[in-house]
Structures are given as structure tokens and as C-alpha cells.
Amino acid sequence: MMKIVFLASEAVPFAKTGGLADVAGSLPAYLSRLGADVRLVMPFYTEVRKKGLPLRKVLDGHRMAFGPDHISFSAWESTAGGFPVLFIENDRFFDRDFLYGTSAGDYPDNGERFGFFSKAALETLKAVGFPPRVLHCHDWQSSLALAFLKHVYGGEPFFQGTRSLFTIHNLAYQGLYEKAILERVGLPDSLFNMNDLEFWGEVNFLKAGILYSTALNTVSPRYSREIQTPEFGCGLDGLLRTRSSVLYGLLNGVDYAAWNPESDPLLPRGFTASDLAGKKACREELLKLFGLEAGPETMVSGIVSRLAGQKGLDIVHEALSALFDLDLRLVILGTGETKIQDDLRAAARAYPSKLGLKIAFDERIAHTIYAGSDAFLIPSKYEPCGLTQMYSLRYGAIPIVRATGGLDDSVRAYDPTLGSGNGFKFERETPEALTGAVRNALTVFARPESWKALIRSAMAEDFSWEKAAGQYLELYKKISTL
């Protein structure tokens, strides 16, 4: 039985800010079902403590050398999710109201916080006697574990059989800190050079994952290719090209137990691909929630997103006039950048009968948007994987996406001649390109039988974690021999 350890800064259902949490919380459970012996290690945040989980203390007051000091920490174990999760407890670093920072900015000691987590995770594995065959680290917050593994624990018999996989969920977030961070976390100053962790005069945590892992992957095949180009490489494309032989792209999955339109408790009425009556009821509830009216001949499009330029919401704003010249209603749910929020609020006042907006996040409304929308807009400028297109497909809301990253991998352009495909795509980052894709979708929407066939095709797609977990297990087996 292969021993696999996940190191992640967040995971559902314990603590979440983004898609990383979905992967780190879901993938281990499915790997466990496939027979792997899996552990997840993450910080014991205040948010986790408040959940009142049944916990067992497995490490109490363990003292660890960390930079110039020795710091004590404890570790707790929960098996509530079906596999063991180890929480690293240190109130100095993790007893805070937010995971990474507040609206005023990131916590200034995030480098120390996650450097500590990375080393403490390795210490915990030693203390509980669980030598991993594969150590699977996620994003910059756990990447220093690979630096410690190479430069601090490299000679220890406990980790001699350990290989590593580093997953890049979003290359834009790299963990950049001043040179002094090396001393504060207890890594050699000699690593401050361009062939190790130095990056334009700073220490780059993400580089540790890229350089020191046995292999690395992104969360979609196309994104693995995109980050090797100057346009998407965020200054690291050259380094990534040197590791291209062990750089893989594996598409994330969706937990269909939680995202199932037939049994979703957050919907006013369930539905299936063979019986879409419930989808009509969800559409009516959606229009009611946003104070809009639309007959069956009018397309209702949804957006559930972080309201940010990266997500293409600026393109949506610029396109609104042209979009509303078409027969379209648009509902938007999310929070994000102040300017985009303000621009959308002004647009909602200008188009009160066509644009519904809620600057918030509400799980029930989000599910209702997926279920009640005819189409779903995802105009991201880049998208490492994306999950919203997978949710929308499952709920029969046809995705209209920019062809980038995981959006391009998971959405197949509709071919009206063959009746094949599951959505609509556009290439350029422009309002005109977005509007053109919506116009193409409306052409098909005007033919109800063709649109129903498209809905059924979309709902039949399989982006399950069972499928993704099998692909990860094959990759673990491959790198365990390297």
C-alpha cells in the first residue's frame, strides 16, 4: 500500500479560500478509496478549532529548531473525513481570524508562518512514524518542505525512500520575501543564488517546489504548457522549461456527491438530464431572486466568480452594452476588486431589467445560478483549471468560456453540423470576442431541441474525482521509481 502525504495550507471542509482547498480535501479521500494509505497535513487554524472536530492529540509540545530559535508545537489527528488529517498547532502562527491576511493585506510574517508549517509537517511525520513514499506539496505555502527535505533532512534514513510531487495551482502566487527569511526559517544562506531560491533580489518560495521536487504538475494539461511561455510563466517560464520532462498536467475533479442536481438540497427542485422540469423551476426561482423577468425565448446567463480582472470581469463590464443589445439576461454573484464591484453596481443601476447583481457569496444562490441559468460565462484571462465550468456542465448551464488553461481542456466547442461539443469558446481577451461567443450560443438557444440535446450532452460529462484520482495514482507510481 503506497504511503502518500499531502501538505497543504487549506482543505475542505476544514478551511478554504480557493480551489486549492477543494483539491486538498477531496483528492486524498478518493485516493484512499483506491487503496492508498493517505495523510493530509495542514495548519490548525482558529477556523479549524471552531469546527469542534473529534480530535486525538498525537504530538504534544514537540520542540523544533526553527531559524535562530527552538519553537514548540503540537499535532492533532482527525479521521472525520474518512482518512487521517494531521493539524499542526502553534498559536503564534495559526491562532488568527484569517488564513493568510485581512482586507488590508497579507500577514507580514507569512514567510515564517508557512516555513514553520513546512518544517513542522516533516517533524510530525517522523514523530508519528509515517515515512511517505510520495510527499505531495501544494503551492508556495508548503513548498519549503522540499527545501528542508533536500538541505536539512537529506541524509536521514527516515526520508530515504521519499519522492515528491509539487502541484502548482496558480503560478502567479509565488511567496516572495527578503533574503533574511532564509535565516529566520533555518535554511542555508547559500541558497540565495539564481540557481536556487533567489529571484530578482528576493527569496522565491515557489522555486523550491519547482527545483527540488521529483516531479511537478499543474491542474490542467493546457496550463502546464502555458506556464512554459513568457505570457503565462510569471518570470519562471525558463526554469519550468528545464523541468519539462517531469512537468505534467492533470485536470482537477469535482465531487459529484456534493454537486448533483438531482439531489442538491440547496435547489428548489431537483432535475436530471432526462427530466429537465426541475431546471425550469430553478430558472424561475433564479429570476425571482434577482428581480428579473425573462420568457422561455430569452437566454439567462450566470456568473459566479471572484470579481477580478484575472477572471475577465472587466471584459464583461465593457461588453454589457453589446450583450444587452442581444436577447439576454445576466446574473452575477461574487466579491472582489473594488473598482470592478463599483463598475458592476453602476451597470446594475443602468440596466435594472437585464442585469441582476449580488456583491456577496451565498452558497444557496450560487447553486441556484448553476441550476437556473441557461448559459454560464467564464471569460478568464488565464485559468489554471477552473471548477465553475465543471459545475455548470453538471447542472446543464452551458459554459461560454475563453479558451485558456483548464477551460480549454474541459469545454469542447459546439459543432452545429455534427451536434457535438458541450459549450462555446472564444480566443481573444476582448469584449467583441466574448459577445461573438454569446451570439453563437444564442443561435443554438433559438432552436429548443438542439439546446436540450446540448444540455444532455453537457450533463453527461465525467469530471469526477474518481477519474482524476486514478490519474494521480498512476503518476505517484511513476515518480516513485525515479
Q: If DSSP states are collapsed to H, E and C, what string results for 321-364?
A: HHHHCCCEEEEEEECECHHHHHHHHHHHHHCCCCEEEEECCCHH
The three-class DSSP label of residue 103 is coil
pLDDT band at 138 (very low <50, low <70, confident <90, very high): very high
The three cell numbers of residue 371 are 441550476
Run of H or E residues at 403: none
Report which of residues 155 and 129 the model is more confident about: 129
The three cell numbers of residue 114 are 508557512
Instruction: Give me the pLDDT at residue 115, please.
Output: 98
Neighbour-count burial of 237, counting CB atoms closer than 10 A to its CB (0-12 exposed, 13-18 middle, 19+ buried): middle
The three cell numbers of residue 231 are 505570457
8 A C-beta contact, residue 185 and residue 119: yes
Distance from C-alpha of 202 to C-alpha of 181, rounded to nearest angstrom: 9
Instruction: Give me the pLDDT at residue 417, please.
Output: 87
For the segment 5-56, what is each residue's pLDDT rounded down to a tens digit?
Answer: 999 999 999 999 888 998 999 999 999 999 999 999 999 999 999 999 999 9
CA 146 to chain centre: 21
- For residues 141-150, give the mean pLDDT: 98
8 A C-beta contact, residue 76 and residue 90: no
Complete edge-to-edge strand list for the sheet that includes strand 355-359: 355-359, 328-334, 299-304, 375-378, 398-402, 424-426
Instruction: Give me the pLDDT at residue 361, please.
Output: 86
Instruction: Give me the pLDDT at residue 356, please.
Output: 98
| Per-residue exposure over 118-127, b if at least 16 CB sit within 10 Å of its own CB, e if not | bbbbbbbbee
The closest alpha carbon to 87, from 119, 45, 50, belongs to 45
Complete edge-to-edge strand list for the sheet that includes strand 134-138: 56-66, 69-78, 85-89, 37-43, 3-7, 134-138, 163-168, 215-218, 247-249
For the segment 385-444, what is each residue's pLDDT rounded down to a tens digit?
Answer: 999 999 999 999 999 999 999 999 999 999 988 889 999 999 999 999 999 999 999 999
Is residue 408 left, alpha or beta, with left meaning phi > 0 and alpha meaning psi from -120 to 50?
alpha
Instruction: Give me the pLDDT at residue 479, please.
Output: 96
Is residue 80 left, alpha or beta, with left meaning phi > 0 and alpha meaning psi from -120 to 50?
alpha
Run of H or E residues at 38: strand 37-43
Run of H or E residues at 71: strand 69-78
The strand pair at 215-218 and 328-334 is best described as: unpaired
Write out the CATH class of domain 277-462.
alpha beta
pLDDT band at 154 (very low <50, low <70, confident <90, very high): confident
CA dihedral (266, 268, 272, 276) positive or negative: negative
8 A C-beta contact, residue 419 and residue 400: no
Determine what percent of the chain is predicted with pLDDT higher than 90: 94
Instruction: Give me the pLDDT at residue 155, please.
Output: 83
Given a cut of 80, whether residue 237 has pLDDT beyond it is: yes
As a whole number, the mean pLDDT across the chain is 96
Distance from C-alpha of 378 to C-alpha of 389, rounded to nearest angstrom: 7
For the segment 160-184, what is each residue's pLDDT rounded down to a tens digit?
Answer: 999 999 999 999 999 999 999 999 9
Distance from C-alpha of 353 to C-alpha of 349, rounded to nearest angstrom: 9
- For residues 56-77, give the mean pLDDT: 96
Residue 27 sits at the vertex; the CA angle it makes with 479 and 374, to the nearest 5 degrees, is: 125
Given a cut of 80, whether residue 103 has pLDDT beyond it is: no
Q: Indicate the DSSP class of residue 307.
A: B
The pTM of the full predicted model, rounded to 2 decimals, is 0.92
CA 118 to chain centre: 20
8 A C-beta contact, residue 355 and residue 330: yes
Domain with CATH 3.40.50.2000 in the chain: 3-253+466-479, 277-462
Instruction: Give me the pLDDT at residue 331, please.
Output: 98
Instruction: Give me the pLDDT at residue 217, please.
Output: 98
Query: How far apart are the two ends of the chain, measured CA to CA in Å?
Result: 18
Distance from C-alpha of 233 to C-alpha of 241, rounded to nearest angstrom: 10
Task: Name residue 275's amino acid.
Answer: D
8 A C-beta contact, residue 271 and residue 278: yes
The three cell numbers of residue 135 are 510527499
Q: Indicate the DSSP class of residue 172.
A: T
Which fold is adopted by the domain 3-253+466-479?
Answer: Rossmann fold (3.40.50)
For the segment 268-311, what is each residue's pLDDT rounded down to a tens digit?
Answer: 999 999 999 999 999 999 999 999 999 999 999 999 999 999 99
The three cell numbers of residue 142 are 508548503
